Structure 1
Amino acid sequence: MLDKLRPQSIREMVFKKLRQDILRGIRKPGEKLIEGELANSLGVSRTPIREALHKLEQEGLIEVFPRKYSLVIGITNESLNEINLIRALLEPAAAKQAVDHLTDQQLQEMEELLNQSEYYFQTNDIKNLLRVHDAFHQMIITASKLPRIIQVLENMHDYIVRFRISFLSHPELVARSVREHRMIFEATKLRDAEKVEEIFKEHLFGISEYATVALEQNMNIMGELPDEGNDSLFE
């Protein structure tokens, strides 16, 4: 049985819980979601469950069969390709805007994150590697000071959780990612906005190349991903 939810922002908490379970693969494609069962397991009434299911259907993650059940669809190759397209268009533009806003102290913090990522790569510490990779991206995107784009990218991030473990479990891909992060940092330190945007585009293209394969490889992953207490993490 799932943990009972506290009565704080019930509607949003129910939606986030179900959405996260689907995106993390805890609730798998083809699984039936029953309103009454969900309400009992989460300790809430049927109203927030019904609203959450409606939002999940709008997002394409489930299909609702009225007065029967909802069927989990999950992440499809088509949705993942669309997410990568959105990221490829928005994230480099946000990084370009961030160049002039990042402080010298933040640049030092970015360099420390890079040093940590290289260490965790050498020691094959995937969990901490994910953490510092995400922190590196988050720092840059947040510094763009573009709240609408930041919000969109945060929402898109949830969709890539499923293949992050697989991506960073391949040494050649990790080496490429760490190297490109270092290049992004060096260009940022020089305040070369055009170069930062260019490298970011190449970086995301490399990630998108692998996304479909990684999704297929990770269909059965459960419990390996870090807790998503911070909803602002980036690949």
Structure 2
Amino acid sequence: MKLNKIKSVSIASEVFDQLRLKIISGELKNGERLVEMELAKYLGVSRTPVREAIQRLEQEGLVEILPRKHCLVKGIDFDAINEIILIRTLLEPTAARVAASKITDEQLLTLKGYLEQSEMFFQLGKVEELMMVHDLFHAEIIKVSGLTRLVNILENLHDYIVHFRYSFLSRPHLVERSIKEHYQIYEALCSRDLDKVEEVFIHHLSGISDYAKVVIEDNIPLNQGNNRTGGLK
């Protein structure tokens, strides 16, 4: 077998990873300008890796390149959200159903602990911590399924999903709803009722469209910056 030597991560990849995370997290807002020369100077690199990184971001649909000018952040739009919702709705209930046939009492205790922490962090208004345990709850169920390829697909969407959660976990009424539905999922898992687990998980994910709206609200283009209150038009 002939293998190629492993090379270190390229500068372009590091630039790409930084910019991608800042766009997905909302730190770089929709409509914000990215200029190669400015980015290169700020990051302390040449323009070439910045150009390569921006081209990769365009392929992922996160920026729009304007020839001989600059590029605009596109960030998360309804198309991206709807695609991710579709993938999650198809895959996560299946993972939960399989998990229900394998889950141990110890793993159920872990999930219960996450639920209790969720309530505590919600009462304390600690969004970062709440997001962490919310994420761990979903991740634990998916992991228990043992469906390696499915787990990998969902992990590849993790950066996007985390940002969704940050947006809606900032809204108390959506947090209360989510915690309640997590308890329903937990109780169904405790009963080891595969059909019920799948049913409540599908119901839980069916509400993601409401969460999608608040993600868009948090990413209104900068030219609408003075009108970032209220709902969608």
Q: Structure 2 length as normaliser, TM-score?
A: 0.80
**Alignment-derived partner of residue 25 in structure 1:** 26
Change (3 A) 1:217 1:64: closer
Q: What is the CA distance between 1:163 and its match in structure 2? A: 4.2
Taking the TM superposition and a 5 Å limit, the aligned residue runs for 1:3-18 are: 10-18=11-19
Root-mean-square deviation over aligned CA pairs: 2.3
Partner Cα distance (2:152, 2:37) in 1: 32
Partner Cα distance (1:56, 1:182) in 2: 38
- 8 Å contact kept, 2:168–2:211: yes
Taking the TM superposition and a 5 Å limit, the aligned residue runs for 1:154-233 are: 154-212=155-213, 214-219=214-219
> What secondary structure does 1:70 align onto?
strand
Q: What is the CA distance between 1:117 and its match in structure 2? A: 1.1
**Alignment-derived partner of residue 71 in structure 2:** 70
Partner Cα distance (2:74, 2:59) in 1: 12
**Alignment-derived partner of residue 130 in structure 1:** 131
Partner Cα distance (1:133, 1:210) in 2: 14
Change (3 A) 1:93 1:73: same
Residues matched between the structures, number = 213
Q: What is the CA distance between 1:49 and its match in structure 2? A: 2.2
Q: What is the CA distance between 1:144 and its match in structure 2? A: 2.3
Q: What is the CA distance between 1:132 and its match in structure 2? A: 0.9
Change (3 A) 1:93 1:217: same
- 8 Å contact kept, 1:95–1:196: yes
Amino-acid identity (%): 53
Partner Cα distance (1:101, 1:44) in 2: 50
Query: Deviation per CA, 1:74-107, whole angstroms, max 9, x where unpaired?
Result: 1112221222122111111122222234333222
Q: Structure 1 length as normaliser, TM-score?
A: 0.80
**Alignment-derived partner of residue 91 in structure 2:** 90
Partner Cα distance (2:134, 2:102) in 1: 20
Q: What is the CA distance between 1:9 and its match in structure 2? A: 5.1
- 8 Å contact kept, 2:15–2:53: yes
Partner Cα distance (1:98, 1:136) in 2: 13
> What secondary structure does 2:39 align onto?
helix
For 2:50, the aligned partner's letter is I
Larger-gyration structure (1/2): 2
Q: What is the CA distance between 1:167 and its match in structure 2? A: 1.8
Structure 1 position 42 matched with structure 2 position 50: no
Q: What is the CA distance between 1:168 and its match in structure 2? A: 2.1
Taking the TM superposition and a 5 Å limit, the aligned residue runs for 1:51-62 are: 51-62=52-63
> For structure 2, which runs of at least 5 residues remain unmatched after alignment?
1-7, 221-233
- 8 Å contact kept, 1:162–1:218: no
> For structure 1, which runs of at least 5 residues remain unmatched after alignment?
1-6, 221-235
- 8 Å contact kept, 1:163–1:218: no
**Alignment-derived partner of residue 152 in structure 1:** 153
> What secondary structure does 1:63 align onto?
strand
Partner Cα distance (1:193, 1:45) in 2: 55
